[in-house]
Amino acid sequence: MASEVLIPLESNPDVMNKFLQKLGVPAKWNITDIMGLDPELLVFVPRPVLSVTLLFPVSEAYEEHKKKEEADILSKGQTVSNNLFYMKQNVRNACGTIALVHGVANNTDRIQLSDGILKDFLNEAKPLDPAARGKLFENCAGIVNTHKELALEGQTNTPSAEDPVNHHFITFVHRDGALYELDGNKAFPINHGPTTEDSLLEDAAKVCKEFMARDPTEVRFTVVALTAAD
Strand 178-182, strand 222-228: pairing: unpaired
Kindly state whether residue 2 falls inside one of the protein's structural domains: no
Kindly state whether residue 33 falls inside one of the protein's structural domains: yes
| Enclosing domain of residue 142 | 13-228
What pLDDT is attached to residue 116?
A: 94
CATH code for position 21: 3.40.532.10
What pLDDT is attached to residue 161?
A: 41
Kindly state whether residue 154 falls inside one of the protein's structural domains: yes
Parts of the chain with a pLDDT under 70: 1-4, 154-165
d(CA 171, CA 50): 10
Kindly state whether residue 4 falls inside one of the protein's structural domains: no
d(CA 132, CA 138): 10
Catalytic residue status for 95: yes
Q: What is the pLDDT of residues 51-98, one digit of tens each?
A: 999 999 998 999 999 999 999 999 999 999 999 999 999 998 999 999
Report the amino acid identity of residue 40.
Answer: E
Handedness of CA 8, 214, 41, 28 (dihedral sign): positive
Looking at the 3D structure of the chain, how many domains does it have?
1
Catalytic residue status for 208: no
What pLDDT is attached to residue 137?
A: 95
Predicted TM-score (pTM) of the model is 0.93
Cβ proximity of 97 and 143 under 8 Å: yes
Cβ proximity of 54 and 223 under 8 Å: yes
Of 47, 46, 66, 48, which is closest to residue 56 (Cα–Cα)? 66
Kindly state whether residue 60 falls inside one of the protein's structural domains: yes
Kindly state whether residue 203 falls inside one of the protein's structural domains: yes
Q: Which residues of 105-132 are buried (b: 16+ CB within 10 A; e: fewer)?
A: bbbeeebebeeebbbebbeebeeeebee
Kindly state whether residue 74 falls inside one of the protein's structural domains: yes
Q: Given 102, 147, 168, 174, which residue is catalytic?
A: 168
Q: Given 95, 102, 140, 208, which residue is catalytic?
A: 95
What pLDDT is attached to residue 154?
A: 58
Kindly state whether residue 48 falls inside one of the protein's structural domains: yes
